[in-house]
Amino acid sequence: MRTPLIAGNWKMHNTEAEAISLVRVLMQRIRFFSGVEVLICPPFTSLSQLHKLLVSSPILLGAQNISEQSSGAYTGEISGRMAAEFCSHVILGHSERRAYFGEDDALINQKVRAAQKAGLIPVLCVGESLAERDAGSAAEVIRCQLRGALAGIQLSAPSDLVVAYEPVWAIGTGRSALPEDITKVISSVIRPGLAAKWGEKLAEGIRILYGGSVNPGNAGGYLSQPEIDGALVGGASLSAEKFLAIIERTQ
């Protein structure tokens, strides 16, 4: 049994004060939900205060990125160890980091190693662009991203990794993918890729989320698919009402 995970990626939104008021609303209402894990990934600047606020709440905190380096003269960077003071998870390989910050699979692999070393659970994002999809190469792109990002990585428990399948053309565009298509990619490409690496038993327990324009209206369609173990939510996670409504769809 894989417990559904609903993760919010706030991206570069919300000051500390805005973050606190959004989280206060989530905290009040989250206790009415069971059998679902909730993770929020705010900007670094709010992590310390939110960590204090969430001390007795089941809401988990994640970072949106870490450096591949463990410490040193790397101006502007945040290490895994620093993030792990406040976070249990870290988003890695997000398509925005790949596209705007030149992160490739080799760098993402180093970041996965850095996360593991710091005791953070990577939420590893993979997904094809529209051009790759139209060219019929989506499956190969995803296989290649998984192979590259996870090269040489050992996993002791399935809970030590989360994979998010995020077709790039569906992120922040309002253009969501069909739930059946997502199921097909997960069951024919992603989970077999994980099984080839670590064996079926371990792969069966790894949570694989869908991400791409998830909202309260379409969330039920994804979350009712047995192969989809939750959602990575961008835009809709900035609204307490929308994010809570998505969480409610897991019930």
Which of the residues are catalytic? 94, 166
Interactions with ligand PEP, residue window 202-221 (CB under 6 A): 211-214
User: Contact 17/49 with Cβ under 8 angstroms?
Assistant: no
Q: Are the C-beta atoms of residues 239 and 40 closer than 8 Å to each other?
A: no
**b/e 51-90 (16+ beta carbons within 10 angstroms → b):** eebbeebebbbbbbbbbbeeeeeeeeebbbbbbbebbebb
Cβ count near 230 (within 10 Å) = 29
For residues 116 and 160, is the Cβ–Cβ distance under 8 A? yes
The one-letter amino acid at 220: G
The answer to whether residue 234 forms part of the interface with ligand PEP (CB under 6 A) is yes
Strand (E) positions, 22-98?
37-41, 60-63, 89-92
Q: Which listed range, 18-26, 78-86, 181-189, 231-239, lies at the site for ligand PEP (CB under 6 A)?
A: 231-239
With a CB cutoff of 8 Å and minimum separation 6, the contacts of 243 are 6, 8, 26, 233, 236, 237
Residue 162 sits in the site that holds ligand PEP (CB under 6 A): no
Nearer CB in complex with ligand PEP: 179/235: 235
Give the C-alpha separation, 105 to 89, whole Å.
19
Binding of ligand PEP by 41 (CB under 6 A): no
235 scored as a contact of ligand PEP (CB under 6 A) = yes
Which residue in the set 82, 203, 232, 244 belongs to the binding site for ligand PEP (CB under 6 A)? 232
CA-based max dimension of the chain? 49
User: Least distance from C-beta 81 to ligand PEP, angstroms?
Assistant: 25
Residue 68 or 96: which CB sits closer to ligand PEP?
A: 96
Contact status: 9 vs ligand PEP (CB under 6 A) = yes
For residue 98, the minimal CB distance to ligand PEP (Å) is: 12
Q: How far apart are the first and last CA of the chain?
A: 15
**Among 171, 208, 244, 247, which residue sits at the site for ligand PEP (rule: CB under 6 A)?**
171
- Per CB under 6 A, the segment of 14-22, 155-163, 193-201, 230-238 that binds ligand PEP is 230-238
Q: Does 23 bind ligand PEP (CB under 6 A)?
A: no
Of residues 36 and 198, the one with the C-beta less far from ligand PEP: 36
Site string for ligand PEP, 103-132 (x = CB under 6 A): ------------------------------
Residues near ligand PEP (CB under 6 A) are: 9, 166, 171-172, 211-214, 232-236
